[in-house]
A and B are shown apart, each in its own frame.
Chain A
Amino acid sequence: MKRTMVAAAFGIAIVVLAAAGASLRAETPPGQVDFGTLSTAGSNSGFVEVNVPASLIGLAARFFDKQEPDVAKLLDGLQLVHVSVVSLNGQNRAELERRAEQFRHELETKGWERVVKVLKDEQDIGIYLKTQGKETVQGLALVVFAGKEQAVFANVVGDIRPEQLALLGERLQIEPLKKLGKITHNAEQ
């Protein structure tokens, strides 16, 4: 009887530990932003979504580790790259602007720091960084309205800085990131 009780207690402990481990693994990284399902805003709007998980980023890093160790190091420091580009039209513009404002507010209240704000030629670009201490970047988020045509929401989880966006876009072949990197660079100059 006593042996059965000990075995049962041991079994329950294993189940509890496994559940705790699973919940820890499932925990969202601090640099990750949930933009929700942006593609559902506006029934006729076009959209492009790119979602590169850590496994694929690691794979890309292996392509560069000998010739471009800096790029490989940058990629190795990333856990997720998510980019959503939504075409704006009369149906979804107001909804997306409302959501963008909501995201900006959420980011600022959750300790994200706005490092770039550009309002130029109908472009509204906001770049936010989530940092831990002074050195470690945990994530980068972008909310962009490019004229009256497109809205871009992007989140890069991991150690990346805004000036590395174009390089990341180039190496992962994500066109919107390339463009954003160049736009922010030009605006800064």
Chain B
Amino acid sequence: MVPFGLVLAAGLCVFGVTGYFRLSSDTATLRRSAMGSVGGTWDTKIAVHLGAMTLALVRTGSRLFPLPAEPRAALETVRAAEVGIYRLASESICAGPKSLLAATDKAMAGRGWQRVVGVCQEQDVVGVYVPGKRIGLRRMKVCVMVLHERDLVVASVSGNLEPLQALVGERLDLRSFTGVGASDWPIRAEAPVLRR
């Protein structure tokens, strides 16, 4: 008779290890809707998920070594990250890249996400999604989908942006801005170059 504790520990170990190869539900939804829209059969090239515990270990370990400020801030910022890369094995039955974005928009909206960036160029599509609510400096999550020819990449990153904010605050150089500022171009409400 195998002790219950041993079975539980083994089960948790298996769950923990397979967790490295399982995407979170939001990213999986993005992947499913994209694949469903494009159609055909897909081969998984890689699917990796680094969760909060793993990245906490990496952060703790990295503190033992001297690191430049930028990679240190990046490590401190990222709390979970995952990526899945898939390749279309058969012919696509997709109506077009725009219908792909429409499908992923609908699926993600159902989970409370909204698209902030959408790019469509020939057969390449990019969609960037953020949660509609509950985001802040300490809690930020982004999901990205990229379809390039026959390759589909879905990824998500969640993190605490405060370390990054501190770095930006230290490094921000006001003189680097060369655009047109408010002081450069005083508004003239009724002074068009040419009016009809």
Chain B interface main SS type: loop
Task: Tell whether B68 is near chain A: CB-to-CB under 8 Å.
Answer: no
Task: Tell whether A50 is near chain B: CB-to-CB under 8 Å.
Answer: yes
Chain B residues with Cβ under 8 A from A181's Cβ? 179-180
Chain B, interface size: which category? 35 or more
Task: Tell whether A47 is near chain B: CB-to-CB under 8 Å.
Answer: yes
A170 touching B184, Cβ below 8 Å: no
Which residues of B pack against A, CB within 8 Å?
A: 96, 98, 101, 114-122, 130, 132-133, 135-137, 140, 161, 165, 168-169, 172, 174, 177, 179-182, 184-196
Q: Which one of B116, B121, B187, B195 lies within 8 Å of A51 (CB-CB)? A: B116
Given contacts A116-B193, A163-B185, contact A47 B179 (CB under 8 A): no
A interface residues, how many (CB within 8 angstroms): 46
Chain A residues with Cβ under 8 A from B179's Cβ? 166-167, 169-170, 178, 181-182
Task: Tell whether A39 is near chain B: CB-to-CB under 8 Å.
Answer: yes
Q: What are 21 inter-chain pairs, A to B, with CB distance below 8 A?
A: A47-B118, A47-B119, A48-B120, A50-B116, A51-B114, A53-B130, A53-B132, A63-B168, A68-B172, A115-B187, A115-B190, A115-B192, A117-B193, A118-B192, A129-B189, A163-B180, A166-B179, A166-B180, A166-B181, A178-B179, A188-B185
Chain A residues with Cβ under 8 A from B177's Cβ? 167, 170
Chain A residues with Cβ under 8 A from B135's Cβ? 55-56, 59
Chain A residues with Cβ under 8 A from B190's Cβ? 115
